[in-house]
Amino acid sequence: MSASVKKLLDLSSGDSHNAGMKPITFVRQVIAGCLCPSLLQSDALPPDARLRAQMLLQHFDGGSAGSYTGSCGSMYVRDTIAKFISLRDGGIPSSPEQVFITVEAQRGLMVMMRLLCQSEGVSSVMIPDPAPHSLTRLLERMGMVPVPYRLQEQGGWSLERAELNRVIQASRGRSSPRAIYISNPGNPTGHVQCRESIEDVIRFAADEDLFLLVNEVYQNTVFADGSEFLSYKRVLAEMGDPYSESVQLASLHSLSNGIMGECGFRTGYMELVNVDQAVMLYTDTLLTGDLCPPVIGQIALDVMADPPRPGEPSYTLYTQGCQVH
């Protein structure tokens, strides 16, 4: 006789905290200092958390986390994120003007879909199979047709150029692919692309004039032996001409996944690479309707992009992933 089920966890949404993961203490301490500035006048918070909260409040209108920021997020936080991206990518420059903080990463993806839908004909996007469970619903909502390419299970869910070639050739005459969506590390497969695989995709995008939509929200959770996260932006830059200056890319990241798991803060960011200035302006315009992304989420993004450093009071606790009690 099988044992009865005592507890069932719904993991379909990827809600880490709902599954038992606890918040990171430093994140909540900085948020507490921003929401209740009187805490900054006491020893209730460690000195580096107080300093971070004070710095953030200086860059919020009225010195309050209750104020609106810019529609694409606080420029101070966008600058923190740009510095994080540059450090992650070995010094390749990143500009805060190309970083857009959004109401979750999916909002950034929706904006790019809307931009890609502007031309005539049936717009489609190449997507992996298997794909994130919400992706096909998003495409349907945006009026775009999914064109699935099969990930190779026998190769550890790898992405192969031959399959991409086969799929795009088969789609001709029925739809007009505008972009290719990549999840790296893969969702739901967990596969981490190597440099050669990423280069193959970039060459394919260049050959077929496709926009690269890259979901990189699990970049901080690569633990397998022999696996290393390389961003598409870094590989693109290191490939040099003609690719580094021509292939258009949107890289997405989020608080909801990875080491943060802060789904409830509903905040992420998108970096655009090699995108025309007019498109950047239109992206800004589309995000204006949101007024601004959640400020609490922006505070947490600042911590994710610039966590405690060695020698600072909260470094050990942060790196151990200790929990709020």
Indicate the pairing of strand 99-102 with strand 268-273: antiparallel
pLDDT digits (tens, 9 = 90+) for 109-166: 888 888 887 655 568 899 999 998 889 888 888 888 899 999 999 888 999 999 999 9
SS3 317: helix
**What is the radius of gyration, based on Cα positions, of the chain?**
21
pLDDT of residue 118: 67
Q: Quote the Cα angle for 34-37-38, to 5°.
A: 150
- Please tell me the predicted confidence (pLDDT) of residue 310: 94
Report the alpha-carbon distance of residue 50 to residue 132 in Å, rounded: 38
What domains lie within the chain, and their CATH numbers?
Answer: 18-69+294-325 (no CATH), 92-292 (3.40.640.10)
Residue 157 region, left (φ>0) first, then alpha (ψ -120 to 50), else beta? left
Which tokens in the block code for residue 58? 């200086």
pLDDT averages per 10-residue partition of the chain, 325 residues: 68 68 88 95 94 96 92 95 97 96 87 77 86 88 90 91 94 86 92 95 96 93 86 97 95 86 86 90 83 93 95 90 46
Tokens matching residue 229 = 């996260």
Q: Cβ neighbours of residue 252 under 8 Å, at least 6 residues apart?
A: 105, 108, 109, 213, 214, 215, 216, 217, 268, 269, 270
Helices (H) and strands (E) counted in the chain, each on its own, are 11, 7
| Tally of CB atoms within 10 A around 234 | 18
Q: How far apart (Å, rounded) are the C-alpha atoms in residues 285 and 265? A: 23
**Cα–Cα dist 139/144, whole Å:** 5
